Structure 1
């Protein structure tokens, strides 16, 4: 028997595609190189219009109703077959119901987009002109067939979309969501390989523990081997310096090579807490059957050594929920992530890296990969490893009552094991969650769920909520067996499983807080009092910058808020009422697209500021962590639209991105005044004040405020705090400034001023009608300095902004000679100064307020600074 190294050939080029199955008479057209999707190939040939523009999404719905066939003719390389060697076709991902034919013979049927399939074709290839055909059935129609087939066994319930997605293991957002279009794709969405080998390494992984001082790792190195390899040589190298840390050798037994190791290591840390030290584990499969010895295969994985804990401990408020990495408590402030495109094959590794880098530069320490999308490619997690961004990873279930018949469970287990094995080396992944919001389906529809009384997994399969078996038995079992050093959480959100904690419960677990925007539509100024132990979803909508709208709503007549084309793009249920209501409650509403865009953006940024500042304040101190993190819904969009995203499809940040960036600085200061809800005053207040539910005395004259400092640094620091009270009318101080020397607590919150009151009557007689023109509302401006250097500022405005009668004013704008820097100042306070960003532009800050006597300096790259337009309230 000859022994040969692994030969792996990409079958990426030369494909063609047609409408219909293999037997149809459709015309074959050249397809794009793999990976690809049918919509992209149709668009390339002008068979469909761009579904991202105008109302074109509607004109491509027919694509999802059809079968599609991809075909490739290929010849294997000369000498590919050797005595005793094995030849396989490896399909990394087929979307979704795929039948694969080789030279007319059916070799594979696949029905799960998330799994990899390998088919042994040894001896089945011709020396030339082999034909590989892939037929993809309509996922929607196959889904409807499955619903009909199992309707007597299972109660199919889905939110957001039609019911056909429930039994289909495909990215659920393709059916449309309240932020994305209905674009049900099909095709070879991941690479296909022709491989020949005598033996090969199929997987490499490491199981380890850290010594108490976290300076040494010990455990076992593993390699899974297919074929008769003799031994495996492992190397551990420090990646940045390519320095050998350890070398180990062991024999292959029953398809596995395992060897213990001990190594001095440097830890991988989340960003700002330490370095992102990474190591390479290389496994080389060696055959001693030949002389000299032959290296058959080498596989490398990048890993980082870190200790991960999810701290859920009883305390005075209930049960904590926060992350402790390398024995350090981490406040996880960041975003939820949806797929970055409706067409997944269009996303390059560079684009994934740009997204993660943008999050990191925005001081975000965690990204939650939402369960209605995909298990992202390694390039996404590689970037998270590189930039120190923690990952909350959902399994791919969202907003549905999923079935659990045997074939489905078998597919789900294969999907889970494959993806956990693929991703387990990434140190950034610090939690796996079973699904997104499926327990809310249980609650809303009264499905059978007895958390305390019924602990028998087999009995769960007989209820009308059989997916409990998946979330509370199957998936935690997979995690324990495949990636035991990462915590598992049954769902997002999830309390402790009792019927009273499936709803939003601020005392336990994580929550999705949607009583701002959805639900009760409370004022976003109340978000600080609406948090929980960990807020894993909340949000506020805004328009993207004008360039994004203009590129995709191409007719001027349609580029108006409330037009059919504009409303069509916004998929959120009731957005016509909700968005306008929130704008009208807070601002003097204007309906040109330029003005309305600006108002929605400032409003979204204000909501983010209230939420992140307030919930970070609740991080508290060690042993008293009221809130362990906050993740906005959402970081990104899958198409160019208006949504809850804080960065648009083209990676252009909205002002909300910068609001979060400021609130999540390593050391920051916060100032807020007590919120007096002008939208709904208590009835007894009407008798005490006047005949209106709006009482501006409570908002403008009798002000109660708080100031605090939040720090993620582990060290105490001496600092000074200055608080100024500046007239909105003329910019002058209306009260003497407050100056305090403080000691900032390490990794926690330092309360500086609590419930301080400022009363200003402006000489108005409380027995007479209030006269807004005589009032002098003021901002509160707080400055934090360390060693005489300003490190953070914050400003609190009276709400609502719409009642303020601003004086005539104009900011002063200057540019550096090379047009890379902008200097902005103002005589009186200015609210919501926003540059309309352009694609390819990078700003150091945006969506800020201007303070009298303070010059704001903004650096600009990508375009000359004087090309940028701006607006303010």
Structure 2
């Protein structure tokens, strides 16, 4: 059997010489390297230069204050990793040096021999070193990295300049694009051995590729394992056997002498189907492939000596994409096991700008947060990375559907060499690697590049030069069809499916809704019904404790130096302020601004999702930009860079619940939409009330409803229950009573914007209690209407977190908020951490609100 020796210990990182300029990538404006004096420091593998320098005390944390700027020189320097391989001690015929990932432009040298060069972060590399180091002594291994800027600028000079959305050359190198900065991310251009390195010792033959194609038809599961085999010279003429096990099903096939490819198929009768969570269970089956030397006597009772072994877990399910034209245009509806899905999605960016710091536990924490919020689809965005198998394993287990972008984003990409061959090799490797994962349901060609060509003045600037269309409409669909034909491919996001329609036509395919955030009030979401909303979002700052950890600004204001540095969007604060001005008076202070921007983010996303979900099945999904952050920053995220949940995260629990109640305006008046995405019918009584601001019920109706499984039911709101359009002292409430209802299934409709509504001065009673688990239960009883009450737990203690976000209470109603991580509960502190729109609009002192 193949032996594996990890190469993880003993690495050193060579520093630039004292006073030297940054490496060959140093261009105009590049910072010089500090006087590090050469020498070496310990290096972590997997890891990157930035984290090694921080560990050695040679680089300040670039996430704090404006340290990012002072770290710019690192990305423009050249770096060398060094270690020594132990003497070769193996009886195997062949030894390979394997790197699963190198970031990015590297020369690999063993002793005095150059093994090869790399220029793609998203691929693995393998070198036969059998004859290049021996049993007598250690052998030096060096991996010398050239600045990614040097390579990008070299390629740009070769292929010509092309437009992109940011002033960095990320599209000229196959590297994580957002390491060059984005409108939510820092510019920290990494280098390093970012995935495991190892020696593999083997004889006769090995499995060089395994791609299991999993299908289900007529109650039978089918696994077609496509194998690639590499042989040594002695193994060329040897017959081999391949054994495939799927659960309890076992089959084997002979591989003729000299053959380097083989397909073996297992049929599994009556497999349990894998479903997204909320639709069924997620059974996973062990899938094992063993390569056997059939000409030798085995020790396992089956005959033959095992040479190599591959194992993953698979799930049986079908996935199709409905894009058949209808009377409304071109749908974009995912079907899993024949069941149409309204995708409750979020966009995923790398969870850390230094991806090697993302552990399996961290992946699981973040993805569990997504599942707990009702999310059932994760879109892995094209400016990041193909995530590790730990990510996809967690999605398989949690029932989270994965939409996977190929790694192209917001730029025109050359289709000439040296990039074209890298793109194809990268695509083939990653499609094959990810094929076993049941959660993966869609391959997407790019992010916003087809749209950019049409609308962002690219066509004129390109003057006929290639820009990526050949990848998205030619190469990539061919790679998917050849390597993983079990999954649908879509050319881009947004994409209408054809140049016959505008790429971002909401009536066709996928749409991105960014005009609203960039130029309009969030009520603009109500103006159309896209077939599938693949991106939309609204910004808010991170949690207060996250800001205080990352920034030393004194005073902390929306435009203090650190706050502005951690706001990467063009005119981001201006858009935040203009968004607030539509609904609220100008905030009186930073704390009010911080609270109201959180409220406005929640309101914006709620406006869009409630509207679009109410139009199912015409609209078949919403994918919020974005779930997570990669550092502490003002952004569109629901979970900030310190892993704290913003109010938007808690709102997603309501918006993405199986059952959602919302009031919507239609051409002939208000309706209550009862959205039922559960597998059971939802029936009962809808209680509609016109309510005065003091809680008095002015009119009431009780109307029966039935929303069958996976449908939306509509109830027309009687005209006498609709508050007058100019009313500032009335609102409409709708509650669902009956089986499947509950206190959280309620909708509120205010006829006036907050700055015009007659909110009373807020009054409440506050009680604290300790639960059996040691958490603090904060119970608030409203004595007046309390609009969007929020307990900011991180203001109580940076380690504290609450189990809910914004909640609106009518007079006499109460809510209990569970806070964990608060060691010294005190009523005064809890009262000071409570915020509501009433006080923000009236600019009252929070200390008076009790």
Match status 1:197 vs 2:202: yes
Q: Measure how far apart 1:645 and its partner are.
A: 0.8
Distance 2:435 2:765 in 1: 53
Q: Does 1:587 align with 2:562?
A: no
Query: Is contact 1:101-1:133 (8 Å) kept?
Result: yes
Whether contact under 8 Å (1:382, 1:426) holds in the other structure is yes
1:7 aligns with 2:3: yes
How far apart, CA to CA, are the structure 1 residues paired with 2:812 and 2:701? 17
- CA distance in structure 1 between the partners assigned to 2:740 and 2:252 by the alignment: 58
Mapped pair 1:262 → 2:267: yes
CA deviation profile, 1:266-320 (whole Å, cap 9, x unmatched): 1110110000111110112222443344222221011111110111122221111
Give the 5 Å matches for 1:270-309: 270-292=276-298, 293-309=304-320
Are residue 427 (structure 1) and residue 432 (structure 2) matched? Answer: no
Match of 1:485 in 2: 486
Aligned to 1:851: 810
Partners of 2:363 and 2:696 lie apart in 1 by: 47
Does residue 396 (structure 1) correspond to residue 407 (structure 2)? The answer is: yes
Distance in 2, Cα, partners of 1:150 & 1:846: 51
Counting only pairs closer than 5 Å after superposition, residues 175-574 of structure 1 correspond to structure 2 as 175-198=180-203, 199-212=205-218, 215-227=219-231, 228=235, 230-237=240-247, 244=248, 246-253=249-256, 254-264=259-269, 265-292=271-298, 293-444=304-455, 463-498=464-499, 500-502=501-503, 504-518=504-518, 521-557=519-555, 559-574=556-571
Cα distance change of structure 1 residues 306 and 76 upon mapping to structure 2, 3 Å threshold: farther
Which has the larger displacement, 29-38 or 430-439? 29-38
**2:742 paired residue among 775, 779, 790:** 790
Deviation at 1:784, TM superposition (A): 1.4
What is the TM-score normalised by the length of structure 2?
Answer: 0.89
Q: What count of residue pairs does the alignment treat as equivalent?
A: 793
Q: Distance in 2 between matches of 1:755 and 1:664?
A: 27
Correspondence for 2:146: 137
Q: Distance in 2 between matches of 1:447 and 1:788?
A: 52
Q: CA deviation at 1:704?
A: 5.3
Using the size of structure 1 for normalisation, the TM-score is 0.87
CA distance in 2, matches of 1:804, 1:216: 61
Query: Aligned partners of 1:799, 1:659: CA distance in 2, in Å?
Result: 21
| Displacement of 1:361 | 0.4
CA distance change for structure 1 residues 448 and 555 in 2, over 3 Å: closer, same or farther? Answer: closer
* Residues 813/300 of structure 1: CA separation in 2 closer, same or farther (3 Å cut): same
TM-superposed CA distance for 1:756, in Å, is 4.1
How far the C-alpha of 1:541 sits from its partner, in A, is 0.4
RMSD: 2.4
Q: Cα–Cα, structure 1 residues 274 and 788, in superposed 2: closer, same or farther, change >3 Å? A: closer
**Whole-Å Cα distance in 1 between the matches of residues 42 and 430 of structure 2?**
28
Select the residue among 601, 608, 621 that pairs with 2:598.
601
In structure 1, C-alpha distance between the alignment counterparts of 2:494 and 2:391, rounded to whole Å: 24
Residue from 565, 575, 578 that aligns with 1:578: 575
With over 3 angstroms needed to count, the CA separation of the structure-2 counterparts of 1:65 and 1:705, relative to structure 1, is same
Within the candidate set 29, 32, 44, 2:43 is matched to 32
C-alpha deviation, 1:672, in angstroms: 4.0
Is 1:827 aligned with 2:794? no
Counting only pairs closer than 5 Å after superposition, residues 36-51 of structure 1 correspond to structure 2 as: 36-51=47-62
Q: Which residue of 1 aligns with 2:619?
A: 627
Q: Taking structure 1 as reference, are residues 841 and 485 closer, same or farther at Cα in structure 2, changes over 3 Å only? A: farther
Residues 65-108 of structure 1 show CA distances to partners (whole Å, capped at 9, x for unaligned) of 1101110012146x3243xx110000111111101110021111
Structure 1 SS opposite 2:582: helix
Paired residue for 2:69?
A: 58
For residue 345 of structure 1, give the secondary structure of its aligned residue in structure 2: helix
CA-to-partner distance for each residue in 1:695-733, whole Å, 9 max, x for gaps?
A: xxxxxxxx95321111112333322111222222x1222
Give me the whole-angstrom Cα distance separating, in 2, the residues matched to 1:447 and 1:584. 34
**What's the offset of the Cα at 1:571?**
0.3
The 2-side partners of 1:632 and 1:396 are apart by 19
Q: Whole-Å Cα distance in 1 between the matches of residues 635 and 644 of structure 2?
A: 13
Q: Does the Cα contact within 8 Å between 1:545 and 1:837 map onto a contact in 2? A: no
Q: Supply the distance in 1 between the matched residues of 2:307 and 2:322 (Cα, whole angstroms).
A: 45
Helix, strand or coil at the partner of 1:594: helix
Matched residue SS, 1:158: coil
Cα distance in 2 between the residues matched to 1:188 and 1:761: 65
Q: Which runs of 5+ in 2 are unaligned?
A: 24-35, 299-303, 838-850
- Output the CA distance in 1 between the equivalents of 2:355 and 2:437: 21
* Pair 109,659 (structure 1): closer, same or farther in 2 beyond 3 Å: same
Cα offset for 1:26?
A: 5.7
CA offset digits 1:482-510 (Å, max 9, x no partner)? 111111011110013226412x3121010
Q: CA deviation at 1:216?
A: 1.7
What SS does the corresponding residue of 1:803 show, helix, strand or coil?
Answer: coil
Return the alpha-carbon distance in structure 2 between the equivalents of residues 798 and 351 of structure 1: 43
Q: CA deviation at 1:788?
A: 7.9
Cα distance, 1:761 vs. partner?
Answer: 6.8
SS of 1:816's partner is: strand
Structure 1: distance between partners of 2:691 and 2:806: 20
- Equivalences for 1:800-819 in 2 at 5 Å? 800-818=753-771, 819=775
The 3 A distance-change label for structure 1 pair 382 and 759 is: closer
Q: Do the aligned partners of residues 756 and 193 (structure 1) sit closer, same or farther apart at CA in structure 2, a change above 3 Å counting? A: farther
Partner of 2:128: 120
**Secondary structure at 1:99's aligned position in 2?**
strand
Displacement of 1:855 in angstroms is 2.3
Instruction: Evaluate the alpha carbon distance shift between residue 544 and residue 447 of structure 1 in structure 2; reply closer, same or farther with a 3 A threshold.
Output: closer
Matches of 1:260 and 1:760 in 2, distance apart? Answer: 65
Segments of structure 1 that go 5 or more residues without pairing to the other structure are 238-243, 450-460, 620-624, 676-702, 763-769
Q: Report if the CA contact (8 A) 1:235-1:283 is conserved.
A: yes
2:682 is aligned to 717
Moved more, 367-376 or 816-825: 816-825
8 Å Cα contact 2:403-2:442 kept in structure 1: yes
Determine the structure 2 residue equivalent to 1:726: 691
- The structural deviation recorded for 1:831 is 1.2
Give the equivalent residue in structure 2 for 1:108.
116
1:591-670 correspondence runs (5 A) = 591-619=588-616, 625-670=617-662
Asked if 1 retains the 8 angstrom alpha-carbon contact of 2:728 and 2:751, the reply is no
d(CA) in 2 for partners of 1:670 and 1:311? 27
Judge which range, 605-614 or 588-597, deviates more: 588-597
CA distance in 1, matches of 2:718, 2:687: 16
Measure, in 1, the Cα distance between the counterparts of 2:741 and 2:529.
Answer: 33
* Number of the residue aligned with 2:31: none
SS, match of residue 805 in structure 1: coil
Residues 163 and 458, structure 2, Cα contact 8 Å, conserved in 1: no
Q: Is the 8 A contact 1:282 1:300 kept in 2?
A: yes
Matched ranges for 1:836-847 at <5 A: 836-838=792-794, 841-847=800-806
CA contact (8 A) 2:80 2:145 kept: yes
Residue 743 in structure 1 maps to residue 749 in structure 2: no
Partner Cα distance (1:592, 1:102) in 2? 61
Taking the TM superposition and a 5 Å limit, the aligned residue runs for 1:69-84 are 69-76=80-87, 79-82=89-92
